[in-house]
């Protein structure tokens, strides 16, 4: 018969019980072994994640859903407000810059100082004039232009040489004349659709002797034909004396007033 060494079993049991009591959890403590394979293993807390598993749910084995990209709708309200404000400030800055560039190179303001263009332009109107350098020959019959006048004009009561707004009637190379109340261009009656003040008529009793407009010059009249500060007195005006073409009224009677020509 085989003899069982009960004392050995008792010793082993006592050793196990002592280890469980020392751990306080009732779990069996593994013996320390610094030389075995367990000592060479990397703890779970210090392991580096495998970059090849990025974006994959390891537990389910399926890729994680992509996160929605931020749009203007799901941005915080304060952030959207800042973005909208920055956009409008940029638009305003560009508009101001364009206005300044146009003001310096293309468009100039001009204030009407006479009644020569009544009722189309009234004394005191502020207009916007496209400069001659930007027109590139864009003047035609009926255009409103600002011209430089001689320093002294016998037809002006103030006697001061100022720029005048007048209407182009004759183009270079054309012959202008009148008979009674009709103006002729190259022998054909001029059609003026409401250009002149009906109160004074197309000529106000001052006829136009046959005049051939030289090359590079224009024959101009005021819409108020009672005012003789136009080509009936000063003759055709040179293109070099044209300041620019009136494009709009932006101020009248002390208030903003927009009217395009």
pLDDT tens, position by position, 121-155 = 998 999 989 887 666 668 899 999 999 876 655 55
pLDDT digits (tens, 9 = 90+) for 195-252: 888 887 888 878 899 999 999 999 999 999 888 888 988 899 998 889 899 999 999 9
pLDDT digits (tens, 9 = 90+) for 60-112: 555 555 555 655 555 577 777 788 888 888 888 877 766 666 655 688 888 99
At 53 the three-state DSSP class reads helix
- Report the predicted TM-score, pTM, of the whole model to 2 decimal places: 0.59
Segments making up each domain of the chain, as ranges: 76-105, 107-260
Which residues, 6+ apart, have CB-to-CB distance to 225 below 8 Å? 196, 197, 200, 201, 202, 203, 204, 206
Fold of the domain built from segment(s) 107-260: Umud Fragment, subunit A (2.10.109)
Give residue-wise pLDDT tens across range 10-68: 454 555 455 555 555 444 444 555 455 554 555 555 566 655 555 555 555 555 555 55
């Amino acid at each position: 018969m085989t003899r069982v060494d009960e004392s050995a079993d008792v010793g082993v049991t006592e050793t196990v019980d002592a280890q469980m009591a020392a751990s306080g959890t009732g779990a069996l403590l593994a013996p320390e072994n610094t030389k075995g394979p367990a000592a060479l293993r990397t703890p779970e807390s210090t392991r580096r994640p495998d970059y090849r598993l990025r974006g994959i749910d390891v537990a389910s084995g399926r890729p994680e859903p992509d996160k929605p990209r931020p749009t203007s709708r799901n941005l915080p309200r304060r952030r959207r407000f800042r973005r909208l404000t920055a956009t409008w400030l940029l638009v305003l800055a560009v508009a101001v810059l364009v206005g300044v560039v146009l003001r310096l190179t293309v468009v100039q303001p001009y204030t009407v100082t006479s009644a020569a263009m009544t009722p189309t332009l009234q004394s005191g109107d502020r207009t916007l004039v496209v400069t001659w350098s930007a027109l590139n020959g864009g003047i035609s019959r009926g255009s409103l232009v600002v011209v430089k006048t001689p320093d002294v004009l016998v037809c002006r009561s103030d006697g001061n040489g100022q720029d005048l707004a007048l209407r182009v009637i004759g183009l270079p190379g054309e012959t202008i004349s009148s008979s009674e109340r009709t103006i002729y261009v190259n022998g054909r009656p001029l059609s003026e659709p409401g250009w002149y003040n009906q109160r004074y008529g197309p000529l106000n009793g001052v006829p136009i002797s046959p005049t051939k407009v030289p090359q590079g010059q224009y024959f101009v009249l005021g819409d108020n034909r009672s005012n003789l500060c136009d080509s009936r007195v000063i003759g055709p005006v040179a293109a070099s004396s044209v300041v620019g073409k009136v494009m709009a009224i932006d101020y009248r009677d002390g208030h903003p007033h927009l009217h395009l020509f």
